Amino acid sequence: MSWPRFAGLTFILALLTLALPPQAAQQTDRVTGLARNGDWQLVQANCTECHSALLITQNSGNRGVWQSRIAWMQETQGMAQLDPDVEESILGYLEENYGPRQSARRAPLPAHLLPENPWSQP
Ligand code: HEC
């Protein structure tokens, strides 16, 4: 490659690097995909031993939902009891970063948009 071409390419690459938002790489952890806020490392330490954090980041729910998931894992999947302070922090993190999502499920279609039910009784 000729020197002017090389210099030109280097310049363009430098511009592209500068154009990227500086914190983009830091908002989610590169390895687990967890949002890097607050107590994310407690979640990494306590919740990625048996399954990937993807199971967490793909789910959502309010505090009660997260609490019941943890209780379910403790009752049926051999998960150890958490220190109460640790559990509080984890629940706070989960509800804040993976709370109920509007987009998680679409609203049901109104009845007039549904096809006629061929099995409905006359
Ligand atoms: C002792 C092992 C273990 C630990 C530790 C553990 N889990 Fe799980 N978890 C499981 C198993 C097993 C499943 C079921 C996996 C499957 O269905 O493939 C599961 C499933 C889940 C699910 C999916 C539940 C659903 O409704 O489909 C979520 C969300 C989850 N875990 C979150 C967490 C969080 C948050 C933590 C930390 C507080 C955690 N897990 C720690 C074993 C564990």
Domain segments of the chain as ranges: 25-100
Token representation of residue 31: 């390895």
Structure tokens at 93: 């993190």
Residue nearest to atom 39 of ligand 1 (CA): 47
Structure tokens at 120: 């409905």
pLDDT digits (tens, 9 = 90+) for 79-120: 999 999 999 999 999 999 999 987 777 888 999 999 998 998
* Residue 50 CB less than 6 A away from ligand 1: yes
Asked if residue 17 has its Cβ within 6 Å of ligand 1, the reply is: no
Q: What is the pLDDT of residues 23-58, one digit of tens each?
A: 555 699 999 999 999 999 999 999 999 999 999 999
Alpha carbon of residue 69 to chain centroid? 15
CA of 9 to the centre of ligand 1 (A): 47
Fold of 25-100: Cytochrome Bc1 Complex; Chain D, domain 2 (1.10.760)
Nearest CA to ligand 1 atom 29: 56
Query: What pLDDT does residue 18 have?
Result: 66
User: Is residue 35 classed as helix, strand or coil in its secondary structure?
Assistant: strand
Establish whether residue 14 lines the binding site of ligand 1, counting it when its CB lies within 6 angstroms of any ligand atom. no
The answer to whether the beta carbons of residues 36 and 28 sit under 8 Å apart is yes
Atom of ligand 1 nearest to the CA of 94: 35
